[in-house]
Amino acid sequence: MTIKNRDSFLDNLAGQLGRKRNTKGVERPKWSINPQHRVLKDATQDELVEVLETQCKEIHTDFISTDKKGLADALEEFIDKYHGKSIVSAGGPRINEFGLAQLYEKMAADGKDIHLWDEEKGEENKVFAEHADIGITFSDITLAESGTVTLFNDKYNGRSISLLPQSYIAIIPKSTIVPRMTQATEKIHQQHQNGQLVSSCVSFVTGPSNSADIEMKLIVGVHGPVAASYVVVEDA
Amino acid sequence: MGIKISYKPYNERVKEGVDNSFMQQAVASAQGRFRSGRQNRADELGDWEDWRTLGEEIRTHTLQNIDYYLQELSENVVKRGGNVFFAETKEEANAYIQEVVRKKNAKKVVKSKSMVTEEIGMNEAIEAAGAEIVESDLGEWILQLDNDPPSHIVAPSIHKNKEQIQKTFAEKKGYTGTDKPEELGLFAREQLREEFLDADIGITGCNFAVAESGAVTFVTNEGNARMVTSLPDTQITVMGLERVVPTWEELDVLVSLLTRAAVGQKLTSYVTSITGTRLEGETDGPEEYHLVIVDNGRSKILGSEFQSALHCIRCAACINVCPVYRHVGGHAYGSIYPGPIGAVLTPLLDGYEDHKELPYASSLCGACTEVCPVKIPLHEQLIRHRQIIVEDEGMSPVSERIAMKGFAKWGASPAAYKMSAAAARPALKPFSRHETIKNGPGPLKDWTVNRDFPLPAKQTFRSWFQKR
């Protein structure tokens, strides 16, 4: 781990600004205006779910809202829709909390190829994800305004799960829904201030991948998933 | 390639643009979509001006303290297992990247779309180090196959139509499908998936780096930057020195401004922030990470009257409203940075000598300034460029210098002025029809090629005024 050429480079910048280098003591000012806090400021949790559902139409994403009991059915519905035979899912404690472990066992018994992301399995995780039909993860923070799931990628939730398979399903615990990106970045900022390690990869994912590089025509599904769906689960 | 994309003279580049009716149509329609997308998103927020004010405040503070924030950033990247290289020139940046390529004995490097890597000519440097370089953004991949420079900073292949793209895929990659965009996109997906899996090194640009924690953020729709940062074991991020924000909270504001101003989306499909190397237990993401921070002429702008040009977040909103860009297209600017921001930045980064016409590629209508999400006074900076070019006689075109000197003498002599004002109408009469000149003589020709010129009035203003 090295830093090269820093002093001459930064001394030059300070010189251009007509002063000596500032190596400490620079404070972020209090900004004169903060419009980001006004967005959906007084919305209830149910209203945020509605905003999210409406936004899903704009981002070509299927949406369903259910409770813990209905989660298995909802997932099966999307898995059928995407013709899912092989499925890679994030691991971790929430698998049991939301009763997914049983669902996956049942599916495996029905002949589906299920892979839980597991640090012990190393490279095999990526290889499976690359050929999988569907990737499933939980959302850590969900942004109603833009229809975005925020993933703190880690040893349970590999970056590839929401990226390499043909289709992607995000399970959204209702309590994770916030108005917009502002609340997510505030939380990350706070975590950092509290000395917690920020995730090596924070992915804000908004629907399937797309491109408009050919004659400005929308192509849904370029490098990432071709289809995406969100399942909101009551978890209060 | 570098910042300069053509050795043809400006007039020739403009003529090529003006004569390319497909390109003009494509650009006009793209501009229309981008503009209405941006406008809808701004209207929906209802307080867009407040957002712009905040954006400007954040950028101003950050650039005023850029040395501090870059130091903080570099320390945090190292804390998370990365290496940081500060490159004053493009040569230094490329040499460092080549060293990584050689040390890793890399055969294939895959990259996502990045203007700064275009600016420093990184692709050629990597090839010179013995590795293959693959562009993975759909638009950039098309251009790479065709060996064509980008003409827009957000939609690089905006000047090409689907038939041309089909032909390129067929010739270069054996494509046999139709010219449907979906089918072309699917073909690119399949071809590029193999490249991602095969690559030894992944390289990205950087939309914003977060000083407080060492994260670098990529704003994309296709997901190629996620591929590049998830699959290869070694990664390099190349960023212009101005591309930093103090904390995650400012990242929110600038990303929100960028996606709305650039493509009219509340957020793009992927906004991805990666920090250093993968952590223990993680199986994707890099095990070796390098951040290359590039000056390449930027520091000269710092502390100058053009400092706010460094506030640019590369959204291209100014390009999308520019009437001149609409007519001449991106390639006419001869720079990888076209449009109003390109006309401001290119002479600053690469000198006036090769780019002195660019500040004149503007009608000064001010639409660019009005849409800029961080309030850069673009058209005022273009006027200032013109003043500098004219003040420094050596830079302005010879014909303009002679004309200006002649005008000064002529205008200073009342007799000469009076005589020529009275002579203008009879002299031009033979070229006119219905009081209008459609094909003027001499210097007037450049004007009348594009628009009509009115025949001078029968009575001069002075004589009208005297007889009044």
pLDDT for B138? 94
pLDDT for B448? 75
pLDDT for B438? 77
Q: Are B120 and B2 in contact (CB under 8 A)?
A: yes
Distance from CA of A175 to the nearest CA of B (A): 21
Chain B residue numbers touching A9 (CB-CB < 8 A): 70, 86, 88, 293, 295
A109 in contact with B, Cβ within 8 Å: no
DSSP A19-61: S----S---PPPPS--GGGTTTTT--HHHHHHHHHHHHHHTTE
Chain B residue numbers touching A158 (CB-CB < 8 A): 282-284
Q: Which of B71, B184, B229 sits opposite A23 (nearest CB)?
A: B71
Distance from CA of B131 to the nearest CA of A (A): 23
To test the contact with chain A by mutation, choose from B183, B186, B266, B290 the residue with the greatest count of A C-beta atoms within 10 A, namely: B266
Distance in angstroms (rounded) separating the CA atoms of residues B360 and A138? 53
* Mean pLDDT score, B364-370: 97
pLDDT for B435? 79
Higher model confidence: residue B430 or residue B185? Answer: B185
- Listed by start position, the domains of chain B span 1-41+318-373+381-396, 47-131+200-299, 398-467
Band of pLDDT at residue B463, cut at 50, 70 and 90: confident
Residue A184 tokens read as 């997510």
pLDDT for A132? 97
- Cβ contacts from A onto B, under 8 A: 294
pLDDT for B437? 79
Q: Which of A11, A130, A224 sits opposite B226 (nearest CB)?
A: A224
pLDDT of B414 > 80? The answer is: no
Higher model confidence: residue B464 or residue A119? Answer: A119
Distance from CA of B162 to the nearest CA of A (A): 6
pLDDT for B400? 63
Edge-to-edge strands of the sheet including B201-204?
A: A3-4, B82-87, B288-294, B234-240, B201-204, B108-111, B132-135
* Mean pLDDT score, A169-181: 98
Q: Which of A35, A123, A160 sits opposite B54 (nearest CB)?
A: A35
pLDDT for B298? 98
pLDDT of B447 > 80? The answer is: no
Q: Which of B139, B213, B267 sits opposite A213 (nearest CB)?
A: B139
Q: Which residues pair with A178 in a beta bridge?
A: A143
Distance in angstroms (rounded) separating the CA atoms of residues A172 and A140? 8
- Listed by start position, the domains of chain A span 41-234
pLDDT for B419? 72
Q: Indicate if ipTM > 0.90.
A: yes
In three-state secondary structure terms, B130 is coil
Residues 6+ apart with CB under 8 A from B238: B93, B97, B114, B116, B117, B120, B122, B203, B204, B205, B206, B292, B294
Interfacial A residues in 126-185 facing B (CB < 8 Å): 126, 130, 143, 145-148, 153-155, 158-160, 163, 180-182, 184-185
pLDDT for B420? 75
Distance in angstroms (rounded) separating the CA atoms of residues B389 and B241? 27
What tens digit of pLDDT does each residue of B223-264 get? Answer: 999 999 999 999 999 999 999 999 999 999 999 999 999 999
pLDDT of B268 > 90? The answer is: yes
To test the contact with chain B by mutation, choose from A116, A146, A200, A206 the residue with the greatest count of B C-beta atoms within 10 A, namely: A200
Query: Is B206 annotated to bind ligand?
Result: no
To test the contact with chain B by mutation, choose from A214, A226, A230 the residue with the greatest count of B C-beta atoms within 10 A, namely: A214
Cβ distance A185 to B275 less than 8 Å, yes or no, reads: no
pLDDT of A182 > 90? The answer is: yes
Q: Which residues pair with B123 in a beta bridge?
A: none
Distance in angstroms (rounded) separating the CA atoms of residues B146 and B386? 35
Angle at Cα B140 formed by Cα B84 and Cα B294, nearest 5°?
A: 25
Tell me the one-letter amino acid at B218: F
Band of pLDDT at residue A76, cut at 50, 70 and 90: very high
pLDDT for B302? 98
* Mean pLDDT score, A41-57: 97
pLDDT for B391? 87
Average model confidence (pLDDT) across chain B: 92
Least confident among A49-58, B108-117, B263-272, B452-461: B452-461
Q: Which of A14, A130, A223 sits opposite B224 (nearest CB)?
A: A223
pLDDT for B397? 63
Phi, psi of B454 (to 5 degrees): -75, 145
Exposed, middle or buried by CB within 10 Å (0-12, 13-18, 19+), for A135?
Answer: buried
pLDDT of B19 > 90? The answer is: yes
Query: What is the dotted CATH code of the domain comprising B47-131+200-299?
Result: 3.40.50.10420
pLDDT for A179? 98
To test the contact with chain A by mutation, choose from B58, B71, B72, B304 the residue with the greatest count of A C-beta atoms within 10 A, namely: B71
pLDDT of A146 > 90? The answer is: yes
Cβ distance B266 to A147 less than 8 Å, yes or no, reads: yes
pLDDT for B403? 67
Least confident among B51-65, B149-163, B283-297, B373-387: B149-163
pLDDT for B399? 63
Least confident among A101-115, B174-188, B362-376, B421-435: B421-435
Query: Is B368 annotated to bind ligand?
Result: yes
Band of pLDDT at residue B423, cut at 50, 70 and 90: confident
Band of pLDDT at residue B416, cut at 50, 70 and 90: confident
Distance in angstroms (rounded) separating the CA atoms of residues B319 and B342? 9
In chain B, the percentage of residues whose pLDDT exceeds 70 is: 96
Helix residue ranges per DSSP H, B20-156: 21-45, 48-64, 66-79, 90-103, 115-119, 122-128, 138-146
For residue B202, CA distances in Å to A54, B109, B111, B342 come to 36, 6, 6, 28
* Mean pLDDT score, B368-392: 96
Count of CB atoms within 10 A of residue B193's CB? 16
Q: Are B308 and B377 in contact (CB under 8 A)?
A: yes
- A41-234: CATH class: alpha beta
* Mean pLDDT score, B369-377: 98
Chain B residue numbers touching A3 (CB-CB < 8 A): 74-75, 78, 83-86
What tens digit of pLDDT does each residue of A99-128 get? Answer: 999 999 999 999 999 999 999 999 999 999
pLDDT for B395? 67
